[in-house]
Structure 1
Amino acid sequence: MSCVVLMAALETTIQRAGATGNIKATREDWLKLALETLISDGVERVRVLTLGQQLDVSRSSFYWYFKSRQDLLDQLLDHWRQTNTRFIVERAERPSATVIRGVMNIFECWVDEKLFDPRLDFAIRAWARRSPATRRALDEADEERVKAIRGMFMRHGYEEEDAFVRARVLYFMQIGYYSLELNEPMSSRLPHVAAYLRSFTGQEPSAQDVEDFSRYVERTVPRSR
């Protein structure tokens, strides 16, 4: 039997098993649990056998979806890039009428954890202390994020060095805020948004700017935060 025919037969078997309910864990189940484990317990606890036990499936089922544990870890890194980094870059590159509005776009990432998950970011940073490859990926991500924010400032007329420093302050201040694990409710932070916008841009936000951002927060953030 050729390799192509064999793979087709295996795929048919998987589809039939899924139809009869014999497959208990999908690729998404493995990834979701691996991601939760990475965030809560660290990369060293992301083990195929342990994940399989938690999913109540055999270890062999893992290899329907992943070539190896390293393949799974690589896909976790890719998920992080496609969420935390991608959304910062997307918000920084979004057209904005003023620099105030440009910074507000980036602020959306700090407000909405579906755009930027700080727990995931710090799980990656902890992983990077043990893995040179992850360290390189993290450095590249930090550089890409700062570059995108710098570009936003430059589009609004800031000189390159000024834009670079403002981008670093805006970005690394927030990363530092997360690292300190300050447990401030949004209700205590929101009254300072005008001062933050003024500090990051050197310009005075309008009352409409502040009102629009406050409404975004109200729509996005659970009352418990």
Structure 2
Amino acid sequence: MPESSPSRRGSRLTVDDWLDAAMRLLISEGVGAIKISRLCRQLGVTKGSFYWHFTDIAALMTALADHCRRVQADAMETLEGLGSLPPVERIRTMGVLVSDTRRRSVEAAVRAWAETDPHLAKSVIALDSTVFDVAHDAFMELGFDEQQAHARATTLVYVGIGYMAGSEHLDIATDEDKRILVEILTRI
């Protein structure tokens, strides 16, 4: 991804423009890559534009962390909304959600950042707990006992985390791979 873009001097940037640019750097290179000078180059503006919106880099990072927490909260709402689906369809849909390229990239970047940000870590833990709860409920509805439902839900959570972490380095799971995984996990 090119770091510079056409000059924005003819239009005023918004806070969302800055957050989008910071998110692109977070996804592509990690939290350490987010610097005022890099963002200004990427957006084609001067540092004065940055300081119009933020007092310093810490203020931008706070706004970006808040944005990431909202993304995590939206993901939890989406998962909680799956409750009306039949249990196997719920599990399949969770696989579709984690397979979405943009969602996977954002989630992997947020997880990496959460390793050093305790507040962000709380939202990652909350999302993982929601994934577990939704999966656990689905397995219970399928007739598994508590121990089996717990083991299968735990497996699904860790498969999802591993998929996000490893998908940059491994072949993407095919639809058939996902189908087989759901079949294995839901087989009584």
Q: TM-score range by the shorter chain?
A: 0.7 to 0.9
The structural deviation recorded for 1:149 is: 2.8
Separation in 1, partners of 2:187, 2:94: 16
Identify the match of residue 183 of structure 1 among 170, 174, 181: 170
Q: Which amino acid aligns with 1:96?
A: L
Cα 1:69/1:152, change in 2 over 3 Å: farther
For 1:158-169, list aligned pairs within 5 A: 158-169=144-155
- The letter of the residue matching 1:129 is E
| Paired residues for 1:54-133 under 5 Å | 54-83=42-71, 86-87=74-75, 89-91=77-79, 93-94=81-82, 95-97=84-86, 99-114=87-102, 117-133=103-119
SS in 2 for 1:57: coil
Identity within the alignment, %: 25
> How far apart, in 2, do the equivalents of 1:108 and 1:196 lie?
12
Of 125, 138, 142, the residue aligned with 2:124 is 138
1:16-44 residue CA offsets vs partner (Å, 9 max, x unmatched): xxxxx744422222111101111112111
Q: CA offsets, 1:38-73, max 9 Å, x none? A: 111211121223312332323232244345433332
The count of corresponding residues between Structure 1 and Structure 2 is 178
Aligned CA distance change for structure 1 residues 40 and 72 (closer, same or farther; 3 Å):
same
CA RMSD of aligned residues (A): 2.9
**In 2 relative to 1, CA 67–143 (structure 1 residues): closer, same or farther, beyond 3 Å?**
farther
TM-score by length of 1: 0.64
Does structure 2 retain, via aligned residues, the 8 Å contact 1:88–1:106? no
Is the radius of gyration larger for structure 1 or structure 2?
1
Q: Identify which range, 167-176 or 72-81, moves more after superposition.
A: 72-81
Q: Are the counterparts in 1 of residues 107 and 164 from structure 2 also a CA contact under 8 Å?
A: no
> What is the match of residue 39 of structure 2?
51
- Cα pair 1:92 1:152 within 8 Å, conserved: no
5+ residue gaps, structure 2, are 1-8
Q: Structure 2 counterpart of 1:113, which letter?
A: T
Q: 1:123-164: CA deviations, max 9, x gaps?
A: 223223333333333333322332333233345554444333
> Distance between the aligned counterparts of 1:198 and 1:42, measured in 2?
35
Aligned residue type for 2:78: E
* SS of the residue 2:129 aligns to: helix
Which secondary structure does the structure 1 equivalent of 2:175 belong to?
helix
Once residues 196 and 67 of structure 1 are traced to their aligned partners in structure 2, the CA distance between those partners, rounded to angstroms, is 48
Which segment is superposed worse, 169-178 or 125-134?
125-134
